[in-house]
Structure 1
Amino acid sequence: MDANWPAPPAAIEAARAFLRGAAAGSPVVVPDGDVDGLSSGLIACRTLERLGAKPVVIHPGKGEHVHTGAVRERIRAEAPDAVLVFDQGSRGLPIDAGAKALVVDHHQPVRGLPPDAVIASSFGHEPVANTSWLTFAICDGVADCRDLAWLAILGTVGDLGTESQIPGAKELLRRVGVTAVREAVALLNAPRRHGAHDVAAAWSVLAAATGPADIAKGRVPGVELLQRYRAEVRAEVDRCAKTRPIVAGQVALLAFRSPAKVHPLVAARWTRRFPDAIVIAANYGYLPGRVNFVLRSAAPIDLLAWLHGLGVPLPGDAGYGHARATGGSLPVDRFEELLAAAGVGAAPAGLSV
């Protein structure tokens, strides 16, 4: 076991000190919209509350993150003393939110780290702990968080599945209930995949629950809406997965239009059909004038290295993630350059209009 697991002790202690200081003021919590991000954010909120704070939560909108202008403006409007950012990847840009910042994350920092933030990252310390597991490890040293352990395993299964090698994860999963965790993860992920990007609905359900069974069995308000989102996302995945692939060498391209964030699920489905290929699922309809895309493979390929190795500039919101999952969002013309570099050529006519 890495002596610095799940993150260097100095980084964990710095994060704990940040939390204690943040609790004395007006903190803002900005979690990613997936289950790992939401679980991380809720662990932090509960910890801050136990320290006497009343944190405000801000959910980035569709295609947004903590570095986009609209999110920064929403943060500044709260006039916070501290900003806590969870599971949004790392960029070598200032958080620039008018307050001191903490970033807790597990993704590979391919473009550096925010220079104005306290950083707690598990990247590089095998097995890499997902963000909610790392957040729990930090927060449990600040307040009694034993009742929040279920949130850590929820985020772990959301990011790494039920067979993760995180020490203690399988035992905790068994204790909490694998069936309930799987169902809760599926329901909580549905709103951010839906075209409505209603992450607040998932947060509301998660915050009302005392365990994954509350969500899986519909014991808290709002689960019915999550179930509807899930059914609609499933139908959209089925539709988009019928796209005829374009195969060129090692690459299989699935190009389609959808307002929903179904491209990761479409890519995962097609890796079973092309187990040795790099599957690129490209969604021309998620954001106006842009292509949101993901790379997945069942083969042991470092997808992040492959993407950056194409030699195509990846500005802004592309080329993050990790070796097994990467992608991003690019203007249509820049994405077409990426396809050409990958030997695929252009996507089918009509998608880019």
Structure 2
Amino acid sequence: MTEDPEKEALSFIMDIDSGAKVTLLYHGDGDGVCSAVMVYKCLQRRGISNINPLPLERGENPFSERTTAKINGSDPDFLVVLDSGSRRGTFHNIRSLVIDHHVPDSVPEVEVFFNTWVDKTNRITSEAVFDLVKRIIPEDDIRWYSLTGTGADAGLSKAFSRYAGKEKKYGNKEIQECISLINASRRHCSFRIAEVFNLLVRSTSPSMFIAAAKRAGIDKLREELKLELKKNLKIAPVFSSFFVLFQLNSPHQIHPLIASIWSVKLNRYVVIAANWGYLPGKVSFSMRTESGKDLLVLLKKYRKKGEEIGFGHSKATGGIVKEEVFRDFLRRLGFKPKLLHPKPPDVHRGTLGSHNVT
């Protein structure tokens, strides 16, 4: 790692010449996609046209076999990886820049590794990217992307406080609607985040993006997700010590929402929402807590070497593992084997009211 990774990241971007082929690999949440859009527009402003935006697919990481095959297939001269976690791996002979804000599990073998948790600024990836590319592209052209990305990951209060006095023309409701539509495209089983990326690139304001996304039917995906969430909030929990488990079968990525909602109500527990229906043969699960426990520290006690469990944030983490691995993991947490099956669980009348999908 360099002494000044932010400076090195800027130098990396400035080193990209107009004839270069560039791949942008980004996580498909609001923070990741908005970060990628800002880098894309920055490169365009510098006269670079051969840019391949590549969303991280469901259940993949930057160094998984499927992802690296896609990267190699585009044969890039430069690779920029955004908001996709910090873990060991290499892209071999491709000049690579990783920009991330998650707690690093390890350090990737890349030319420049710029992680804002490491540099102690704790900026969301969208904030860090904004701080880089505003030196190349006018702030007014990209600030609403950073507002949206930061708000998606850290909440609107942090986003607007970050730009206090500079961003009066955009209101909370407008930015929140952008976040909601982006999230719907990612959480829905149709996974239309690449389409949303293109809509964001073509839009010059939140209102323009909102109108375009609704014409494309992204708001209809959100309505489907609301119904799916309402149904799955009726799932009966199972307790083991300070862990509480909700098992669901949904093709949509609603397990993080289930975990977040219940973690507020069951604030003395570590909530696990396990989705047996999101990816074939695997369990995708989210863990959330308001108990004060550090999930990353806690999971080191239960995670076996090599398991894709417990990366990200101290209050929000999870993983995607094979079904048998997840059953074994639950046994380590004290859950009874007879409960560990992928059948749709029994439901009861929910005690939670309706929730918006944001």
Cα distance in 1 between the residues matched to 2:337 and 2:156:
38
TM alignment of 1:3-22, pairs within 5 A: 10-22=4-16
The code of the aligned residue for 2:254 comes to V
Q: Does 1:323 align with 2:318?
A: no
1:83 aligns with 2:74: no
Match of 2:39 among 37, 44, 53: 44
Contact 1:133-1:152 at 8 Å conserved across structures:
yes
Q: Name which of 19, 38, 54 aligns with 1:58.
A: 54
Q: Which runs of 5+ in 2 are unaligned?
A: 345-358
Q: Which amino acid aligns with 1:332?
A: E
| Segment drifting more, 15-24 vs 168-177 | 168-177
Q: Which amino acid aligns with 1:120?
A: F
SS class of match (2:55): coil
The equivalent position to 2:25 in structure 1, one of 13, 24, 30, is 30
Alpha-carbon distance between aligned partners in 2 of 1:347 and 1:148, rounded to the nearest angstrom? 52
Opposite residue 147 of structure 2, the aligned amino acid is I
Residues 170 and 243 of structure 1: CA distance in aligned 2, closer, same or farther (over 3 Å): farther
State the alpha-carbon separation in 2 of the partners of residues 133 and 117 from structure 1. Answer: 21
Q: In the alignment, which residue of structure 1 is the partner of 2:173?
A: 179
Distance 1:165 1:53, change over 3 A: closer
- In 2 relative to 1, CA 127–352 (structure 1 residues): closer, same or farther, beyond 3 Å? farther
Partners of 1:200 and 1:282 in 2: CA distance: 26
**Letter of the 2:67 counterpart:** V
Paired residues, number? 342
User: 2 CA distance for matches of 1:290 and 1:128?
Assistant: 32
CA distance in 2, matches of 1:206, 1:193: 17
Which residue of the partner structure matches residue 135 of structure 2? 141
Deviation at 1:221, TM superposition (A): 5.5
**Residue equivalent to 2:283:** 291
Structure 1 residue 213, shift from structure 2 partner: 2.2
When residues 42 and 213 of structure 1 are mapped into structure 2, their CA distance, relative to the original with a 3 A threshold, is: same
Query: Partners of 2:267 and 2:341 in 1: how far apart?
Result: 29
- In the TM superposition, 1:1-353 aligns within 5 A as 10-24=4-18, 25-54=20-49, 55-96=51-92, 98-110=93-105, 112-125=106-119, 128-164=122-158, 168-172=162-166, 174-216=168-210, 218=211, 220=212, 223-310=215-302, 312-313=303-304, 315=306, 317-346=308-337, 348=339, 350-351=341-342
Q: Equivalent residue of 1:190, what SS?
A: helix
The letter of the residue matching 2:71 is: I
TM-score (structure 1 length as normaliser): 0.90
How many percent of aligned residue pairs carry the same amino acid? 26
Change (3 A) 1:299 1:288: same
Give distance in 2, aligned partners of 1:166 and 1:225.
28
RMSD between superposed Cα atoms in Å: 2.3
Give the partner amino acid of 1:338: F
Partner of 2:329: helix, strand, or coil? Answer: helix
Q: Does the 8 Å contact 1:271/1:296 carry over to 2?
A: yes
Residue 324 of structure 1 aligns with an amino acid whose one-letter code is K
Q: Secondary structure at the match of 1:320?
A: coil
1:282 CA drift (Å): 0.4
TM-score, normalised to structure 2's length? 0.89
Counterparts of 2:15 and 2:6, CA distance in 1: 14
What's the offset of the Cα at 1:168?
2.4
How far apart, CA to CA, are the structure 2 residues paired with 1:260 and 1:146? Answer: 35
Give the letter aligned to residue 44 of structure 2: E
Gaps of 5+ in 1: 1-7
Asked whether the 8 Å contact 2:151–2:159 carries over to 1, the reply is no
Q: Secondary structure at the match of 2:318?
A: strand
- Paired with 2:171 and 2:315, the residues of 1 have a C-alpha distance of 27
Q: Give me the whole-angstrom Cα distance separating, in 1, the residues matched to 2:338 and 2:235.
A: 12
Shift of 1:252: 1.1
Distance in 2, matches of 1:39 and 1:313, equals 34
After superposition, the C-alpha distances for 1:179-229 in whole angstroms (9 at most, x for unaligned) are 10011100111111011122112212212221222233x1x2654421011
Name the SS for the 2:267 alignment partner.
coil
Matched-pair contact (CA < 8 Å) for 2:196–2:213: no
Asked if the contact 1:187–1:226 (Cα under 8 Å) also holds between the matched residues in 2, the reply is yes
After TM superposition, the structure 1 stretch with the greater mean CA deviation from structure 2, 260-269 or 24-33, is 24-33
State the distance in 2 between where 1:83 and 1:49 align. Answer: 15
**Cα deviation, residue 172, structure 1:** 5.0
The question of whether the paired residues in 2 share the 8 Å contact of 1:27 and 1:56 is answered with yes
Q: Could you tell me how far 1:18 is from its partner in structure 2?
A: 0.7
Asked whether the equivalents of residues 127 and 166 of structure 1 are also in contact (C-alpha less than 8 Å), the reply is no
Deviates more, 1:37-46 or 1:338-347: 338-347
Q: 1:13, 1:99 → 2: CA distance?
A: 20
